[in-house]
Structures are given as C-alpha cells and as structure tokens.
Structure 1
Amino acid sequence: MSYKKFLPLFVALICICCSVFAQRDTVSLNTIIAKSVKFVNDYPIEKVYVHFDKPYYAAGDTVWLKAYTTTDLHVPSTLSKIVYVDVYNDQDSLMASIKMPLVNGVAPGMIPLPAEGYKQGNYRLRAYTNWMLNFDGSYLFTKVLTIGNPIDKDVLTTVSFGHTAGAQPGTTVRIFYKDPNGKPLANQKISWRTEASHDETGKGRGTTDANGYLTISLPPTPSITLSSSTLFTTMELGTKNVTNIFPLKSAAPGKDVQFFPEGGQLIAGVPGKVAVKAIKADGLGVNLKGTVVDNAGQTVCTLSADHIGMGAFAMQPEAGKSYKANITFADGTTGSYDLPRVQASGITLMIANADADNLTIRILSSESFFQANQNKNFSIVAQQGGFIKYAAQTRLEKQVYSAIVPKTKFQSGTLQITLFGPTGSPISERMVFIQKADLLNLAINTDKPQYLHRQPVKMTIAAKNGALPAEASLSVSVVDEGKVPVDEDAETTILTSLLLTSDLRGYIEKPNYYFKKPDEKTIADLDILMLTQGYRRFSFRDVMAGRNPKILVMPETGIDITGTLRNRTGLPIFKGIVRLMMADRTASLQATTNADGQFKFANVMVNDSTKITITARDNPGYTNLMLMVDGQTYPAPSRITTLPDERLNIDSAMRPYLENSKRVYNNTHQLKEVVVKAAVAPKRPGHLEHGALTGLSPEPDHLIDGERFKGCTFFVSCLQSMALGLTYVDNIFYVTRDYNAGIKKPMEVYMDGLQVDMNYLQGVVASEVESVEIFFKDGMSGINQRDGTNGVLVINKKKAPKGQKVSLADLQKLLPNPYQVEMVPRGYTVVKEFYAPKYDVAKPNAGGVDLRSTIYWNPKVTTDKITGAATVQFNNADGTGTYRAIVEGMDAAGNIGRYVYRYKVQ
C-alpha cells in the first residue's frame, strides 16, 4: 500500500523554519521525519463516524444511521469498501450486526429493534472497518445506545445512592417505585439480591413505605467489586413478580485524582503548569478545590477543578521536596493525593494556545540538564493524523527558548507536539487542539419560520468551503424536540468524533461542550482536556523503535468468497471450474482454481440472508471431487470506553420519549380478548433429556435460542460472538471470569448428550440447532472434576416431528454432495427507505394521529457542485413546539461540518 502524496509533504517539511528554531539538515531530524512518513504510508489511519437520526430509542423502533469513513485528514476513504456496525448488550452478547458497502466513503444503514428482542437497558454500539481491527480497539467508533421499553410495564423506578459514615463506609440504595400513571406503589413486598460476575454476593427482603420508597443497606464492599455488581429487585405485584435491574457502578464511593504536569514531568527549579482530573467510580468527573503542600506541610498553591472534574494550577517544584494535594470534593468528602515525583534534572515543553492565530512554543530546562546538554541538537515535530505539519531543530544554547508558530500550518483538530533529544528519542510531549474557521460551512433555511402541524416543509441546505460552493455528501435528521430532548453538551457529532475523540484514548465527557459555542472559556477548558487526556493514537516512541502494528486483516474491497477444490484423496485440483449461483438471480459466476486448488469469487454483491450454491459439477468426474468453502470470522467484542454515558434511570431520563412511544404503540396495536384453543407446544430438547447431564442445574446460566443463529453460515463463528460470559481462544471456550483470573481450564462440550470436541462443532449446521445452554459450573454432575474442565457447553439439535414422511429430496439433503455447498454468507444489509407520510393539503387531518418523533431522515443528500445547495421536502407530524434539524457531512476534500437549525410548529 503506497501513498505517494506524502513525498511532496516530506520535501516541504525540510524547508520549514522559524525565528528561533534554525532548521539544520541533520540525520536525527531527517530520520524522525522519514520514519514518520513511512509509518503513515504503510499504516494509514482510517476512522469511522456514525450519524444517527436521534440520540436514543425505544424497543420496537428502527435505528436510522449513516456511516462516514475517512483516511488521512478526514478525506473520504478509498481504502476500505465495507463498514460494520455491531450492537452488544451489557453482557457483551451480540444483538445485531450490519454490513454496509461504502461508496465514496459513506454508507446508509438501519438496525431494527424488535420489542421481543430488546429489553430496556444500555447497549454498546461500535462501528469499524476490517482494517481498523489491526490497531488499538480503543479507537473504534463507540456509542452507548440507550433503549427504553414502555410497553406492558407495570412498574417504573428511580434509584439513587448514598453512603454510610465510618472507617469502612457502606452503601445505601434508595429506590422509588410507581405505576405507569405515576402513583407510588406503597407497602409492596420486595426481595432483592446482588451479583458480581454471576455470583450472588448478598440478598434480603423489604417493603416499600407509604411514598413508594425502598431503602437497601449494602455492607461495606471494595469499590472495584461494587462497581462491577448488579442489584436485582423483585416486587410481588398481585399475581405477578416484576424484576428490575440496577447496575451498581454509580454506587461505588471511590474517587480517583490524577495530576498531569505539562510536558510530562515536574522538574526541580522549572516553573510549569499542572493539570488535575478527578473522576468518580462511574467514570464521570467530580469538581474539587484544595491546596498543594510540600513535605514540610507548607502551602505552595491552591487548586480547583470546576469543569467536570478538570482544572490546572501553576507551581515551581524544588529539589528534594515532595508534594501532595489536600482536596475537598463537591459532595463534601475529602482526600489527600500525592503529586508526581519531582525530577532533579530535565527539560520540558510548554505551549500557549490562547491566541487565535499563533501557537507559542517554549522549551525550559533545569540548570543541571542545560550544563550536561549544552550545544546539543534538539528537535520539535508537530503532527496531525500522522502527517508531520511542522519540524524544527536548534542547539541548546540557553535554558529558555520561545517561538511563535502560525496556526495556518495546521488544520482543525488535535495536534501532537513532541520534543526530541539529541539521540532522536522523544523526551517531552504536549497535545493541543487547533480550532480554526476551516470546517465545511453548512446552513439550513426553511421556506417559513413557523408551521402548522402536518404542513409541508421545504428545507434548503447550503454547503460552502470558505466562500466557494461545495459538493458535499450529507445526512439530515429532523426530530420533534419536545419528544426527544437532548443534552447538547453530551452529543456525539461528526466534529467531536473525527476531530477529537478518535485521536485520544479514553472517555471524554460532554465532548460537544467544546464545539457547540466556542468562546474563551470553552477554549481554555479544551486546552486543559488536552493536558489530562494522557493517551494518544500516534506514538513517536513506537515509530522510532520500529514497533509496527501486526497486520492480521487487509482492507476489504468487497465480499470475497473463497475455498478449495480437491479430489477424494485430498489432492488439489488445478484449473478446476467452480460456479456460484444465487437463489434470487438467474446469472451465475465462474472461477478457476489455481495450482493449490484455491478459488476466489471477488467483490460478490450479495445481500444478507441470500442463499447461494457453490458447485463443481462442471468438471469431469465431479462426483469424486470435494468442495470446501473458507469460513467467515466475527471479531471479538472490544472494550467500550463510553460506558459512563449509560443512563441509570432510563424511565425518568427518557420520560417524554417513552410516553410518546407508548402512545404510538397503543395507536397501532389494538388487542382484543381471544380464547386460545391450541395443542400444548411440544417440549423443546434440553440437557435434562440426557442422563449424563441430569446433574447440571435445571436452568442454565445463559440460554441462546436457535432462532438467534438464523442466517448464520458457520455455527462456531456465530457462537463465539453470542456466548454470554465465555471467552474463545485458540478454538477453545473458557468461562470468562475464570479465564481472566488465570484459571485457563477449557469448557466441556456436549452435543445432544454426547461428549464432543471443538473440531466436531466445525461441522454443525446452524439451522439445525434448537438451543445452546451455558453452565458456568457443573453442579452435581461431576463432569468437570472427572475431565479436568471448567463449565459445560451444551448444544441441542432440533428433532424432526415423529411419524412425518421423509421425501427422497430430504434424504439427499441429509447426505450432502461433497462437490456442492449451499450456504448463506454474511452479505450486505438491505436498507429500506425512511417512511415520511405526505398529507393532502385539502385534508390535513386525515389518516389518524401522527406521533412521529423522527420527522424526517435522509442519509443521501448531495449538494450541487455549482450552487452548493440541496432541497428536501417533508411534512410535519401532529406534535407542536420546536422541531430540531441537524445536518452533518463532508466533501471530497475532507472538509467536515455540522449545523443545527430549529423551527416552530403550532
């Protein structure tokens, strides 16, 4: 893979100079530049951002989305042609996965959320290309997808947490219960239990008071255990038992305070800035104030953090002293925390970023460091997205250097500035954020400032690159803001994602705060964020040391179906003919095998759930041939860093939206009382039918219904992504909690009561599986003790109805021909068009009530390259109030933009 456009950039860098850092053509600086250019040339950075029609959903909704994929500095990607979006539940079980073809770096998509499959809760969504899986999973696009379910809900809850005083403070959980009409559920009996890693850690019973409150006192528990625990409460409501689930991560009392000296370290005698960041156990920031004292107890300075737990203070450390901060948090609790150890000698990098036009770069060294390194060469390199935008070198001739660098050299986004020592090793680093007027300028106008409900809206969207019209690929969402209120500071946008969070590892709270209305304060707060976010995508230390990523998968240019053709003795067939046929098409594809018997159908346009047949019948003596198709793999769940975005009290946090969703459901589902006169459903196969497994618990820890494997091509590949609480390594399943604790005993596997190995499962047809039962322990069966295993995995196959006649064709299917394979590959997800009703102007109130929350969604808006404009039309719904329109997108040159517009409906 080669990006020749890097070469002119490399030449230009050699010519960069400034008033203080005299450019010197040294091996050290040239080596830094050359290695950096080669790294980005060989390992281009690909990013994915996903625009959604709204910030949260209800079970039964459809998620409408558009993926934007970029390389370099936000140019539409030509590297990958396929993008994936996965949805996991809070136990890392795959709920949905869509595969979309990329055209000019973009792809529209949709994810249905069937009410029977999605319980109320916080789900984790990630989007990626195959190429991105070669690198740190922390940089995949991730989002917490909160889904409510207001249907047939008898109990609504709100939970809060407190702590009891003492040397080992306990935790108090206070839960408010009410019915769907808002009436408190008083004097209701409730049983509760807590679990950590599927093990019960506590239980009890209680009764709600006259106001519907239940208070539970949990014993003192380590924060790390409490933060991974879950509380289950069950209310005896008439003849029903209603269970509610509450994650306890927000209940953990611990707080973490970290200090980040600018440039990386505290150096004796060198004045500097120190950033502070404080977070609670749930990952959210907590404000504080306090003082810094030395080891003699003398106050050195005061400090405060008043922006979601972040702040900064100035100090000049002294040699031989240590420092700590005495802190009072916003909730009244206190703590004492050590500052980093003071270095006796060193050099550091400091940046002033308040000027709109220029960066001020300063290098400060201690006296001892200066004396030891006087007249040696030091270099500064600034990069964005791996592209070096500024490079300079100077001799160390004084302790303090200062230079002004125009921001015209950079683009909007994160800028990594690194100081290199005489040997070419990075010794100090600083991240800054560049905010310039270089974004795609988007605007929305409507033909009227105010509308009536159901009235048609003509919306004009304009895109400009500077003052010139731009041809841009955009997505537009219009929602009824009264039904879908949103915290704008916390939104994930194309700007927050591609310019900020995709370059920094770790959670960033309320990212849109820095972009919504930039001013002096937000710019200052953003600079402190850059000081505290200690991990970045591009590591000069790895680049200089030659520690390159291990490439396991190449960029996908389309769907490839590959395999091997052999004869009965296992020898490969050279120049054999293999044909691919699709059930929904009359034409077929043909491939010829190479000397190793391998064949490949490249860039096959096949939709998901489409059945295909691959056959070698066109060869002489085909009955003596064996056709094998290569399997498809599913990436394991990656760590999601956005978990602090999870909503704890979904019923109250999403109340307007869920109330509207319930009205929508009631208007579209009119249930009538019926009398069911059907035969009792046949008993489904399970482990209790087999004597060898009767010692297992009657109920498995987790059950995967066979319907989940519908459309699955390779059973084991799907099972490893769906098996809750299991880890799949080197073709072996392990119990995750034990594997992580160092107990690496494999699970025992049974198929229809018979003990089998993992190789046997490679031949299992997914459509024949009735269910999969997962047992973390073997109960009274003695299986694990006998075989030295840990946990039991049971696969139950479907049973044919008794007495049913079997046709010759069915018998032939039971004995498949070795020269032919029928399969359902993982194809592209079919995307329907968003339905926006059009109303007759003469009869505006016909057709029943219109309760839509998403009024309009269009992922395929393209502005005209001459005028820079595009027009869309749609009708309002019956909701009155404020409607909020959002347009996001990018042009072919890599300029990205976003615009928010509101209009009134009465």
Structure 2
Amino acid sequence: MPCTKTLLKLSFLLFSILLLAGFQAVDEDFAQKVAGQLLKYRGVFPQEKAYLHLDKPYYTVGDTLWYKGYLVEGSLHQADSASQVLYVDLIEQSTGKNIALRRTRLEGGVGHGDIVLPDSIPNGAYTIRAYTNWMRNFSEDFFFQKSIYLFGQEQNTVPATSELLDIQFFPEGGQLLTGISTRVAFKAVNGNGLGQDIDGFVLNQKKDTITSFKSEHLGLGRFQFQPEKDQKYQAYVRKKDGTFQSVSFPLSVENGFSLIVDNLSSPSKMRILVYHNFSQSAEKQVHVVGHSRGIIAFAAKGKVSAKGLMINLPKTELPDGITHLTLFDDQNKPVCERLVFIDHGNTLKVKINPSKPIYKPREKAELEIMVTDTAGNPVETNLSVAVTDEGQIAPQPYDMNLVSNLLLTSDLKGFVEQPAYYFNRDKSERKIHLDYLMMTQGWSRFKWEDVLKDSLSAPQRFVEQGITLAGQVKRNNKQISEKVMLSVFLENDSISTILTPETDATGLFAIHNLVFSDTLNFRLQGANKKGNQNLSFLMNLFEPPKAFLVKIPYYPITVDAVQLNDYLKRAEEYQEIVRKIRESRERLLKEVTIKAKKVVERDSRKLYTNADATIKVTSQMAAGAFSILDIIAARVAGVQVVGSGMNASVFIRGNRGEPLFVLDGMTGDKNMITSVNVNDVESIDVLKGASAAIYGSRGGNGVIAVYTKRGNTNYDYSQDIVPGVLSSKIAGFNIPREFYNPKYEVTRQEDARPDYRSTVFWAPMLKTGKDGKARFQYYNTDAVTKIAVQAEVLSAGGLPGSAKTVYSVQ
C-alpha cells in the first residue's frame, strides 16, 4: 500500500483546541506514540475496501447477475492496484451454501464479471460477497456484502413480518455512570432484520417511570438519562397489538468516565465533554485521540475535574467520513469511544444527461455523463452504468451506492438500512439520524491493545497479483527436513511451460502471480529421479470462507405486488423464448445427415496403417501381469508365449526367431519392452507376415509394437496415477461475458420477438475523458415505461460519486 505525503501529513496533524476545566498542552510523548503505532500498524496491516455495483437489486432464476468490482486502499480510498484478484461469491442465506464463485481480474482497482443464475438453484434471499485474499487476514465483517433476492416462478410470496423485536440500548461513550447525566441511543429491529419504529418507557426497581422514548427513523432514537446509585432499570416497548415487550436496560457503574460529543450544533467545530464519577476532589488526567480510518487526526491531554472537561475541536481539516474518538484514562487505557460523521460534501458531482426526456419504444437512446469535483472542474474517472426498466425493477429506497459504502457502511459493523438516505441533502433531519447511527453501530477496524503492542505478528495471508499454486511436499507421508527441487508442467490453451520451483526446508512451495483464464492443467513431480516415488503432494487449493447462516426470514427488497408480478411475467416470457430457441436449434441439429467418412487422427508413432491384432490395455489386464508378455499370452491368435515374467519368450506363427520389438515407434529388444511398467501401457499391436514387411528384414519374424500412455500426445495426464507425480487442474480468472445489446436500426428476423428486458443496458468499464465526459448509446425495449439510469464513479485519487436519472419511453 502506498504511503503518500498526504497520509503522513494527516498522521501527525494536531489541532488548536480551546479548553475549559484545566485542559493542558498535548502530551507529545503519548501523541507521538499513538501516531507512530497507528502508522506502524497500518504498515503491517493496510486495509482494503471492495465494492460491487450490481445491475439490479433482485433477479429471477435463469437470469444473469452483472457486476462491476471496485477495490480501494482503506484509508485514503485511492484506487488500489496492490491486490489484483477479487473473489466474488453468492451465498444462499438459509443454508450458507456457496452457489457460485468468480475470480475477477483487477486492473487499476477495477474489474467486472457476471453470474448466471440457473434454474436449478432455489429462490430466496442471497448474499453476494466480494473480498481479496489479503482481506481474509481480518474479520469477514470487512468483506463487501449485499443482500439480494432471487425469485422463482412457483413461489413468490413476500415473507410475513415477524412480531419479534430486537431492541438494544447504547449509552454514549459506552457506559452509564451513576449520578452523571448522559444520552442513550437505541435501535429496534423486527423479525425481518429491518428497522421498526417503537415507543416505550423506562422503569426503576420501584416501578416508577423514569423517562419515555420514541424512535424517529427506522427504529433509531435517543433520550437523556441519569442513573441513580443502587438502582436497576427495565425498559418496556409497545408492540403493534398494544401489549408491551420487556427489554433489559444497561447497568450503571459507580466509578468510570463518560464521553459526550456534540457534532451537530456548529458546522465548523464539535464539542467534546468528559465527565467522571470518582470522588469529588479527584482530578483525573485523560487523553482524547481522534483518527479517521486509521490516520490520526489529533491527540490532546487534559484533567477532568468535578465540573468535567470540555474541548472545542475544529472540523474543517477532518476528512469526509467517520472519525473515531477514544478517551484514554490516566493509565493510557481506552475507556470510552464515540464515532462521529464528518460531512463536507467532498464527493464527485455526477450528472447524467439523456439526449431527450422522452423516447419511443426501440428507439436509440444517447446519453452523456459529466463528472466534476466540488469546484466544478472536470475529472477523469472510471465509472459503471446500469440501465433498468422501472416498470419491472422497483428502485430501492436509498439503496447502497459507492459513496455511502466507502464513507459510511464499510466502516460500520452490521447491516445499515437505506444508507444513501444519510447523504440526501434534501432531508433536513438526516444529520441527527446519522448521529443516532454513529452511536448504535459504532465499530473499529482494530483493537487499541493490538495497535499499542511493541511487536506485531506477521499477517497469515498475502497480497495476490495473480492465481497462486501452492502446497507441501512430503516423503513417505512424513514431513521432509530439506529443500526439494520440483518440476511443474503448466498447460492450457494459452500457456505451455515448465517451471522448477524449490520448496523450503519443511516442504512448502508456492508459484505466485499466474495469470490465466478458465482452467489450467498442471503436472507436479520432483525434479530429480532419486526418491521421487516416495514423494507425495498436498495442494492448498482455494476454499471460500464459510458463510454465517441468516436465521431471520430476511427479505431485503421493497417492491409492490403488481410491479413484481409484471417483472415475473416478463421474465418468464423471456425465458420461454430462450427455451424455444434452444429447442429449435436442437431439432435442427437432429435433422442434419452427415455423409462423410470419420476422420481419425493418425498416431505419428506408427509406420503402418492397420495392425493384425490390437490389445487395448485396461487396468484389470495390468493388475494380473508382471510384464507386457504376460498381457499378450493367450490373447492373440498365432502368438505363443513360452515361460513367464522376465524369462518368457514369444514367437509369432511358428517362427523360430523372436519378433521385432517396437516401443512408441522406436525399435529395441525384448529387455526394453519387458522393463516397461505395465500400468503405463496404452495398447499393444501385433503385425504378422505381410503386415510386418514395412519394417523390412527386421520384421521377418513379426512385430510386437508397444505404445505407452505418455508417448501419446493426446494423453490426459490428469487421469494418470503415478507414484511421486501429481496431475490436476486449477481454476483461473473468469472471462466476463459481453452484455447483449440489440441494434434495431436494421430490421432482422430475430428481432421480431418481444423485447422486455429488465436490464436494458449494462456498461461496467466506461471512462470519462479530460473534459470529464463519457458518452454511450443503446436501444430501448418494447416497454412503455420509465427507464432508470444509475452511474457509479471513482477517481484515481479516491473520490467517489453516484447519480441517477429517469426518462420516459412512450
């Protein structure tokens, strides 16, 4: 990961802070230690963030899911080219089964692909994930994850919402202190995993009502609360049927710290309040440290008196996104944390301009996308565009986009509902609701005790820039104690090469950065013949990380019944057209009569055309034979084998002399033939009399020609089981398919069928020029409908952008 001047500047930025209640100068030793440790931690464990732009939020069986992958460096969001392999898989939520796995090749942090959704997979809720090998060093919460829904034609009912509520309370800073007034945020989620608006109250042990509360947005809310000493509290929430559900309430502590942050009152600064409930005369020295995505923003030291400590912190230099505030006590241990969101609006401005507001069915649509920065200057960017029929695909309310993912959800734990809502500047209450979210889903990508360690353990997984072939060599199934030279033969349609890697002293080996598509055949053995038969190989083939089951009946989309039925009807019509085309092609193939002789490729090892007798050697034949002559005995008329094993003699048609022996086209003697491993023999030909004349006088007593499996250029080595040799296959990068874009400017017979595609157009790899513009065109479908155009944009410097527009087809 690059360490830029900007990163270094942010790492040691200390703000001027106005303080009350005994605040002192920054403790340079502790500030430098924290900054240095964070920089060191980021150097050993740099973060990556992945994002997938999908063409739509739900699909039907038989459909194709199209995706564009973005990978960025986790701190500054610069386009990341360190990892060049992005894994994309599809998980069935009810079983945790991995339905599909795609290896996507990244160049400059972007790549694209598709997943065909066959009729054989069940309908229901799925999770699509994206991650790199490096990201597997950390929690799977770091993976990109998005829930989608797959509809079938038989069962398409919307799951009923469960009455069960999950309510959690979150004291600001992390804990309640007796005698100290603070704020408590809460979040209520229903049985489908979505926010549920609630109201309720809190009772003390005497059953007195202390306070009431009511959610304001998707089950989120906040209220003021001051716990009393020796009191326990219980919350009660009103359900839809009017009854109340009892919910446990956090316990208070008698000695500790409280951290309260006001990030809403002023656009230019935030106010940080620190309290404690130790003895009234005690002053406690504390540190407050802030960092944004692992880059330290400020560090300060002060004393908390009986009246508390207040810090006014400027926000102008803090980057957009989440800033973590941590309060360290006088032992330099973290005791309170609070997340705040900084919103300067520093994202790319994206405008989508159709050439006209209304088109006709099947008319060519021409669109232009303009991308600028906050100052209005054009920006060269990479972008992806999805065009869908809104009559079939319902726009999801405030669905995830690249901006909300990079700045918000990728740094929060768990599912965030309607994330784009918090970036909609038309919503006047969004900032306070976002502050509730910061209090209820606070999360850190690291633990301070790990960061502040003197030494850091090395990561177990590495950055991949290609496919890896790795494993371990053993001798007699035991670990070796010396290095071993290997010979690896790699082959597919585009690669044919031999490599000679060396294991380490424990037998581990790896070949990195292989770049190939589809499947690669490999054959692995020791480079030296001595002791090769005692070698065995254990391959470390890629296994996707296991997925956690979603226990709730999750239904991640919003669509009304009429619109859904229309989508399913159109999808079924399209699938029926595809089936008829396939059936028609199959019938046509059955009616074709081929009048020609079958062309059999001649074996270059043979001088003759046909043998008088041929034995195709099977594993059963080889199992009971000591030599090739044992296989021939009693299987060919006119051929006599006298004796057995290595001492056997063979005669053809009463000849007193032994026949000529040929191995893979080369003449030899009986000893050469009998030394061949019978398991390696593919076939044996016998030539008698005139048939053997092609070999001249040497064939006067007949010819026995032996052909081995390895001598055949068409032999599949992966089927060959040989001691000390491993033949197998390894999966490579998936080749993205091209999205079908019909052209209606010329009338063709195949265009006569109805066209009601739900995804009208998909362009994953567009770029803007120096003028900040990108242009594209496509043809509309037969539908009279609204067409939605969604664009996701990312600059090389890490600025994201997202935009949507709608036009009509009439």
TM-score (norm 2): 0.76
Could you say which residue in structure 1 is the equivalent of 2:47? 45
Could you say which residue in structure 2 is the equivalent of 1:856? 761
Could you say which residue in structure 1 is the equivalent of 2:744? 839
Question: Does residue 427 in structure 1 map to residue 335 in structure 2?
Answer: yes
Say which of 493, 499, 503 aligns to 1:584: 493
Say which of 344, 348, 365 aligns to 1:457: 365
Question: Does residue 123 in structure 1 map to residue 126 in structure 2?
Answer: yes
Sort the Cα spacing of 1:85 and 1:842 in 2 relative to 1 into closer, same or farther, 3 A.
closer
Sort the Cα spacing of 1:902 and 1:303 in 2 relative to 1 into closer, same or farther, 3 A.
same
Q: Distance in 1 between matches of 2:123 and 2:386?
A: 24
Equivalent runs, 1:434-453 vs 2, <5 Å: 434-453=342-361
CA shift, 1:327, in A, is 2.8
Could you say which residue in structure 2 is the equivalent of 1:607? 517
Question: Does residue 82 in structure 1 map to residue 81 in structure 2?
Answer: no
Q: Distance in 1 between matches of 2:772 and 2:557?
A: 43
Say which of 391, 406, 411 aligns to 1:498: 406
Could you say which residue in structure 1 is the equivalent of 2:15? 16
1:433-490 alpha-carbon deviations (Å, 9 max, x no partner)? 222210122111111121111111221112222222212111110101111113223x
CA shift, 1:358, in A, is 2.6
Please give the secondary structure, in 1, of the residue aligned with 2:459.
coil
Sort the Cα spacing of 1:627 and 1:263 in 2 relative to 1 into closer, same or farther, 3 A.
closer
Could you say which residue in structure 2 is the equivalent of 1:344? 254
CA shift, 1:125, in A, is 2.0
Equivalent runs, 1:503-902 vs 2, <5 Å: 503-517=411-425, 519-544=427-452, 551-562=459-470, 576=485, 578-585=487-494, 587-593=496-502, 596=505, 600-614=510-524, 628=537, 630-639=539-548, 645-646=554-555, 652=561, 654-670=564-580, 809=709, 815-818=720-723, 821-840=726-745, 846-864=751-769, 866-902=770-806
Sort the Cα spacing of 1:42 and 1:574 in 2 relative to 1 into closer, same or farther, 3 A.
closer
Could you say which residue in structure 2 is the equivalent of 1:327? 237
CA shift, 1:639, in A, is 2.8
Equivalent runs, 1:194-343 vs 2, <5 Å: 250-251=161-162, 253-343=163-253
CA shift, 1:2, in A, is 8.0
Sort the Cα spacing of 1:434 and 1:369 in 2 relative to 1 into closer, same or farther, 3 A.
farther
Q: Distance in 1 between matches of 2:721 and 2:117?
A: 36
CA shift, 1:364, in A, is 3.6
Q: Distance in 2 between matches of 1:667 and 1:578?
A: 51
Please give the secondary structure, in 1, of the residue aligned with 2:322.
strand
Q: Distance in 1 between matches of 2:2 and 2:159?
A: 55
1:307-364 alpha-carbon deviations (Å, 9 max, x no partner)? 2222111133333433333332344231333432233343311112224623422324
Equivalent runs, 1:158-169 vs 2, <5 Å: 160=160
Say which of 42, 56, 65 aligns to 1:54: 56
CA shift, 1:415, in A, is 1.7
AA aligned opposite 2:444: R
Sort the Cα spacing of 1:480 and 1:369 in 2 relative to 1 into closer, same or farther, 3 A.
farther
Q: Distance in 2 between matches of 1:323 and 1:514?
A: 32
Question: Does residue 480 in structure 1 map to residue 382 in structure 2?
Answer: no
Question: Does residue 97 in structure 1 map to residue 101 in structure 2?
Answer: yes
AA aligned opposite 1:9: K
CA shift, 1:589, in A, is 4.5
Sort the Cα spacing of 1:588 and 1:539 in 2 relative to 1 into closer, same or farther, 3 A.
same
CA shift, 1:65, in A, is 0.2
> In the alignment, is the contact (CA less than 8 A) between 2:15 and 2:314 conserved in 1?
no
> In the alignment, is the contact (CA less than 8 A) between 1:451 and 1:905 conserved in 2?
yes
Q: Distance in 1 between matches of 2:736 and 2:802?
A: 24
AA aligned opposite 1:67: G
Sort the Cα spacing of 1:465 and 1:368 in 2 relative to 1 into closer, same or farther, 3 A.
same
> In the alignment, is the contact (CA less than 8 A) between 1:565 and 1:572 conserved in 2?
no
1:186-217 alpha-carbon deviations (Å, 9 max, x no partner)? xxxxxxxxxxxxxxxxxxxxxxxxxxxxxxxx
AA aligned opposite 2:9: L
CA shift, 1:817, in A, is 3.8
Q: Distance in 2 between matches of 1:594 and 1:315?
A: 64
Question: Does residue 143 in structure 1 map to residue 53 in structure 2?
Answer: no
Sort the Cα spacing of 1:562 and 1:138 in 2 relative to 1 into closer, same or farther, 3 A.
closer
Say which of 127, 137, 145 aligns to 1:134: 137
Q: Distance in 2 between matches of 1:414 and 1:36?
A: 16
AA aligned opposite 1:8: L
Which one is further off, 478-487 or 338-347?
A: 338-347
Identity of aligned residues (%): 29
Q: Distance in 1 between matches of 2:221 and 2:235?
A: 13
> In the alignment, is the contact (CA less than 8 A) between 2:189 and 2:219 conserved in 1?
yes
Q: Distance in 1 between matches of 2:535 and 2:560?
A: 57
Sort the Cα spacing of 1:664 and 1:425 in 2 relative to 1 into closer, same or farther, 3 A.
same
Q: Distance in 1 between matches of 2:791 and 2:550?
A: 26
AA aligned opposite 2:767: T
AA aligned opposite 1:519: K
CA shift, 1:882, in A, is 0.9
AA aligned opposite 1:849: P
Q: Distance in 2 between matches of 1:644 and 1:508?
A: 17
- Structure 2: state its 5+ residue gaps: 588-684, 686-705, 710-714
Could you say which residue in structure 2 is the equivalent of 1:722? none
Please give the secondary structure, in 1, of the residue aligned with 2:188.
strand
Could you say which residue in structure 1 is the equivalent of 2:268? 358
Larger Rg, first or second structure (1 or 2): 2
Which one is further off, 458-467 or 569-578?
A: 569-578
Could you say which residue in structure 2 is the equivalent of 1:796? none
> In the alignment, is the contact (CA less than 8 A) between 2:192 and 2:555 conserved in 1?
no
CA shift, 1:884, in A, is 0.5
